[in-house]
Amino acid sequence: MQKKTPIRLRPCAALIAMCLSAPVAHAAPDPLAPGARWSAYAAGRAATPPMGWSSWNAFGTDIDEAKILGSARRIVDSGLAASGYRYINIDDGWALRRQQPDGRLVIRPDRFPSSAGGGASSFRPFTDQLHAMGLKAGIYSDLGRNTCSQAYSSDDTDLPKGSVLEREVGLYGHVDQDIALYFSDWGFDFIKVDGCGLRAYGADSPKVRSGQYRALPPVLDLQSVSRTNIPAVQAEFTDINRALQRHNPDGDYLLSLCVWGAADVRAWGKNFGNISRTSDDITPAWARMLTNFDSASRRELYAHPGSWNDPDMLYIGKGDFDAGHLVEARSHFALWAMLNAPLMIGADLRSMAQPLMDIVGNVDIIALNQDPAGNQATLAYDADDLQILVKQLASGQKAVAIFNRGLGPVEADLTAAHLKLRQDAPVTLTDLWSKEKTSFTNETKVRVAPRETRIFRVDGTRVLADGLYLSEQTGNVNPAVDGVVRPQADPSIFRSSAGWSGTKGAGERPMYAGWGGARADSTPYGQTLQIAGKPYAAGIGVLANSRLEVRNLGHRRLSAQVGVDDSAQDRARGVTFMIYGDGRLLASSKALRWGQPAQALSADVSGVKLIELVARSAAAGNEQLPVTWGEAALLSK
């Protein structure tokens, strides 16, 4: 995460007079000082990941009222609405122009006839219909003056019309006016805010050079985080947030951030919105689904109730996920459910085949996604060809998904240890597709076909009988400061060929920053947690100079084995570990260096609501200094 730069004092020795007249410098706030509050996004309405439908994957900008309401009708009639699918979201393509001089937006009347019924153009009749069906309504805009289709579409049929100013339909310069229009006037409940307006309209872009659009110097660069102005992007979202709160007095709104994993948003999206895109667009191609899955699957600590990772909408219904590819479609759905991703159907539901409807309608898998504990699954086994994801549920049960990414069938070994369950007690698996139950003790073999994901609910006896490891409750752990000083591209994300660029050029480079972020049961760089030769199967791995917020839901003790991780290259500097409770220091370690055995740290947290775990080292530039909160757990005794 970006740190605030301290204000530097000028050297004063020979310049007393000048210094006396210089402004007094204020010390930068210490980012590791306990804040005594949960700082991830908690506004809006996203206690569980949003579910619904979006027009984009099915129709692009070629949208109209009949298509959208047709899908909404099927959501209700098929029972999907009753299973939780509620948001019906209009994506890009609805705007006709920004009226001058008052700046009010006008809807395409040929596509949305109900908007032109009388007086000013309005979506109110449309949102009224959705609300009368028991659904919620979503709208689309952009951080800049213009949207993504205006930047990237080669055909202007569906694009806004009129003068340059009239075609500026994005939020830039109109945040308060547009948010008031969408929420107070038109009655929307959800907004997706795209980012192309801050990325694609530089003075040298062809559409700006030809005079079609005004230039807006880009502050977002998808390929290069070092060419991105992160505070500028954050400032836009701060403005939007304020407007959302002003114009939604009942707080019933949802903010979807869409900057595609750029600008290091995988580290801070959780502080600015309810869902945040972790990668560029999904396509109906298996390889692309892998990219999008990977962009969220190792960010398990960056998602919580109110602030979820968004690997993009479902593509079930097309290409590699159509009715001829049910194995792939089931995998896509099961994986999104385990990640606590928004479940946004992207198909034309008027013609979706029943077997695909049954996939998105699997209530047992939906229940995993909507589990109130809000724990994104963690990777209990992580190889390039096979992964095992485990999710702790509010009921005390677990869910497990075994994902075969490779080309051949696999006999996977599933062990009680993967599940943090006892090896000497029976474990029962319920297959969430076939509903069959099987039991095993210690370990079992699970056959997984190529591209298949076997997904089970799990009953067993927990290794930790009287508490929960922090890595089992990712929804309660927020890396408020994760110690990353210079955001770097994450090399662990599968690099697929993006459909829109074909195989021209050299292919995708690693580009989504977040490398070195906090992890559950892993070091920040994907190694086993280990202190002085002792491995820890459970724990939190994070860089030094970090602060983790932990919500305490009634536990009495926090304990951990702390130390510098064996994977650290910096062998000289010491790190001090501290536990705070509601802002008060409860326990502190001595300064620990690489190679020194773990120190047991424990604190009474009875009655404490927010615990903070701080690892502080003397110097900055701590990429070489991963630390381990081994076996970190909240206990009831």
Q: 139 vs 477, which CB is nearer to ligand GLA?
A: 139
Q: Collapsing DSSP states into helix, strand and coil, what is residue 561?
A: strand
Q: How far is the CB of 93 from ligand GLA (least distance, A)?
A: 7
Q: 292 vs 370, which CB is nearer to ligand GLA?
A: 292
Report whether 327 contacts 355 (CB < 8 A): no
Report whether 461 contacts 483 (CB < 8 A): no
Applying the rule CB under 6 A, the residues between 4 and 23 that interact with ligand GLA are none
Q: Collapsing DSSP states into helix, strand and coil, what is residue 67?
A: helix
Region from 25-33, 143-151, 183-191, 541-549 binding ligand GLA, contact rule CB under 6 A: 143-151
Choose which of 38, 41, 56, 333 interacts with ligand GLA (CB under 6 A).
56
Q: How far is the CB of 505 from ligand GLA (least distance, A)?
A: 19
End-to-end CA distance of the chain: 35
Region from 144-152, 485-493, 545-553, 603-611 binding ligand GLA, contact rule CB under 6 A: 144-152
Q: How far is the CB of 49 from ligand GLA (least distance, A)?
A: 17
Annotated active-site residue in 281, 294, 348, 371: 281
- The encoded tokens of residue 259 equal 């900057």
Q: Collapsing DSSP states into helix, strand and coil, what is residue 390?
A: strand
Q: Tell whether residue 91 is a contact of ligand GLA (CB under 6 A).
A: yes
* x/- track of binding to ligand GLA for residues 102-131 (CB under 6 A): ------------------------------
Q: Which residues pair with 459 in a beta bridge?
A: 428
Residues in the interface with ligand GLA (CB under 6 A) total 10
Q: How far is the CB of 255 from ligand GLA (least distance, A)?
A: 15
Choose which of 260, 336, 536, 594 interacts with ligand GLA (CB under 6 A).
260
**CB burial string 390-419: b at 16+ within 10 A, e below:** bbbbeeebbbbbbbbbeeeebebebbbebb
Q: 92 vs 570, which CB is nearer to ligand GLA?
A: 92
The CB-based long-range contact list for 80-84 (8 Å cut-off, 24+ gap) reads 80/345, 80/357, 80/360, 80/361, 81/133, 81/134, 81/135, 83/361, 83/363, 83/366, 84/51, 84/343, 84/366, 84/370
- Dihedral sign of CA atoms 500, 503, 325, 412 in order: negative
Based on the residue annotation, tell me whether 431 is a catalytic residue of this protein: no
Region from 146-154, 339-347, 423-431, 612-620 binding ligand GLA, contact rule CB under 6 A: 146-154
Choose which of 65, 92, 264, 322 interacts with ligand GLA (CB under 6 A).
92
- Which regions of 122-224 does DSSP assign to beta strands (E)? 136-142, 190-194
Q: Tell whether residue 310 is a contact of ligand GLA (CB under 6 A).
A: no
* x/- track of binding to ligand GLA for residues 354-383 (CB under 6 A): ------------------------------
Q: 144 vs 306, which CB is nearer to ligand GLA?
A: 144
Task: Tell me the C-alpha distance between 130 and 507, whole Å.
Answer: 42
Report whether 529 contacts 523 (CB < 8 A): yes
Q: 147 vs 297, which CB is nearer to ligand GLA?
A: 147
Based on the residue annotation, tell me whether 281 is a catalytic residue of this protein: yes
- Dihedral sign of CA atoms 502, 507, 513, 517 in order: positive
Region from 7-15, 147-155, 365-373, 425-433 binding ligand GLA, contact rule CB under 6 A: 147-155
Q: 147 vs 567, which CB is nearer to ligand GLA?
A: 147
Choose which of 127, 149, 297, 378 interacts with ligand GLA (CB under 6 A).
149
Q: Tell whether residue 258 is a contact of ligand GLA (CB under 6 A).
A: yes
User: For residue 188, which amino acid is it?
Assistant: F
With a CB cutoff of 8 Å and minimum separation 6, the contacts of 562 are 531, 577, 589, 592, 598, 599, 601, 615, 627, 628, 629, 630
- Longest Cα–Cα distance of the chain, Å, equals 83
Q: How far is the CB of 363 from ligand GLA (least distance, A)?
A: 27
Q: How far is the CB of 154 from ligand GLA (least distance, A)?
A: 13
User: For residue 536, which amino acid is it?
Assistant: Y
Q: How far is the CB of 83 from ligand GLA (least distance, A)?
A: 24
Region from 16-24, 145-153, 262-270, 348-356 binding ligand GLA, contact rule CB under 6 A: 145-153
Q: Tell whether residue 148 is a contact of ligand GLA (CB under 6 A).
A: yes
- DSSP secondary structure string, 239-251? HHHHHHHHH-TT-
Q: 149 vs 309, which CB is nearer to ligand GLA?
A: 149
Q: How far is the CB of 242 from ligand GLA (least distance, A)?
A: 23
With a CB cutoff of 8 Å and minimum separation 6, the contacts of 86 are 50, 51, 52, 134, 135, 136
Applying the rule CB under 6 A, the residues between 190 and 219 that interact with ligand GLA are 194
Q: 281 vs 549, which CB is nearer to ligand GLA?
A: 281
Region from 115-123, 142-150, 334-342, 462-470 binding ligand GLA, contact rule CB under 6 A: 142-150
Residue 614: C-alpha distances to residues 35, 268, 542, 601 (Å): 11, 18, 10, 12
Write down the residue that tokens 């240890």 correspond to.
417
Q: 151 vs 605, which CB is nearer to ligand GLA?
A: 151
Annotated active-site residue in 92, 142, 194, 521: 194
Give the residue nearest to ligand GLA (CB). Answer: 148
User: How many helices, marked H, and strands, marked E, lie in the chain?
Assistant: 13, 31
Q: Tell whether residue 315 is a contact of ligand GLA (CB under 6 A).
A: no
Residue 286: C-alpha distances to residues 60, 298, 327, 334, 447 (Å): 20, 19, 11, 14, 21
Q: Which residues pair with 585 in a beta bridge?
A: 580
From 195, 312, 184, 305, select the one nearest 253 (Cα to Cα).
184
Q: 60 vs 162, which CB is nearer to ligand GLA?
A: 60
Q: How far is the CB of 148 from ligand GLA (least distance, A)?
A: 3
Active site amino acids: 194, 281
Residues at the interface with ligand GLA (CB under 6 A): 56, 91-92, 147-149, 194, 258, 260, 281
